Structure 1
């Protein structure tokens, strides 16, 4: 049976996620995170992609991408995931030992309004909610804390971040978090309902 065509409306940002197979840890050491950041950057060089935010966690990742065309999202993710999987299997000698990721990446279109700011906050505060750091900017593997030349190039968001962005990201999300998680569970767009 063929796969269902991916929903990637033109002009919208997307919350993109994937998780390790069986919730297994994918990023086992410092070098694994660095390699994935490099692959994100390399994929940007091959497929033009506007990156708004990201957070790499031990067993999953979140990206906020703003594709320049309908086909760019899938092309970028294919480039990123193929490079990562090849490298991972070669490094760990696991070729033929099963999947690294639980399946295809999931993507959720986001309205270019306050909903986008909420998703950016959700992604950048992920390590705080997981109790890995006290403040989002302390997580080395997120867009607020990365300080490496291999990190992907970030793009200015279509919605301006407030001047107190760090305070906003590090504060409790409350109902915003509940609504966003519901969007992810249901596999539905996050934002205004047309």
Structure 2
């Protein structure tokens, strides 16, 4: 199957995801999370990229990021992934692939959709049944975005968050919101309203991400 094209643009907001190889666990203990967050902080300091939200799960991560220039997202993520793999192999005496491959990313519309993505990201450990509230998961940006601790390296979103952010994040997304999010993650489809999606897909050569996966039907097929 051909690779889905990437649509990188200056000052766009992206939902960025990567998973452990074969969905294997990557973060085995607290020190693994701490070391990765330290590397993430350094990656943001080294590259002109804003980080709006993040969540580390045992076998994957989610970021909400905005590069100043299109190339900055790739260079930031390449540095982070390479640095982490080097650290992981040195620490565990291992070899081989740690991550499933290149990271996934898709552009997010800067309106209520960006709030939904942030909510989805920080709500991961609640949705996964690891904790009962996002405030109890230490490996995400939630404590910062909810004002529970001072911001360390996370930037403020370009839109205002709802009041009682923790309650909002802990409240499950409805099925339509989840389905739309999963479709964007699967196909790296721009995440926003329909007209905005079509415009962004056209601007960044992402029309293929709007179509279902699979070969086109032949004439006469049901």
Structure 1 residues 1-194: aligned runs within 5 Å: 6-95=6-95, 98-145=96-143, 153-174=153-174, 175-192=176-193, 193=197, 194=199
List per-residue Cα deviations over 1:35-59 (Å, max 9, x = no partner).
0000001111111221110000000
Alpha-carbon distance between aligned partners in 2 of 1:166 and 1:70, rounded to the nearest angstrom: 32
Alpha-carbon distance between aligned partners in 1 of 2:68 and 2:12, rounded to the nearest angstrom: 9
Alpha-carbon distance between aligned partners in 1 of 2:4 and 2:172, rounded to the nearest angstrom: 36
Report if the CA contact (8 A) 2:4-2:187 is conserved.
no
Q: Secondary structure at the match of 1:188?
A: coil
TM-score w.r.t. the length of structure 1 is 0.91
List per-residue Cα deviations over 1:126-155 (Å, max 9, x = no partner).
000000100011101011147999x96010
Q: Which runs of 4+ in 1 moved over 2 A?
A: 2-6, 145-149
Name which of structure 1's ranges 155-164 and 127-136 shifts more when overlaid on structure 2: 155-164
User: Considering only CA atoms, is the larger Rg found in Structure 1 or Structure 2?
Assistant: 2
Report if the CA contact (8 A) 2:15-2:105 is conserved.
yes
Change (3 A) 1:82 1:148: farther
Q: RMSD value over aligned CA atoms?
A: 2.1
Q: Secondary structure at the match of 1:71?
A: helix
Report if the CA contact (8 A) 1:180-1:190 is conserved.
yes
**Which stretches in structure 1 are left out of the alignment for 5+ residues?**
none
Number of corresponding residues: 190
Greater RCO between the two (CA within 8 Å, min separation 6)?
1
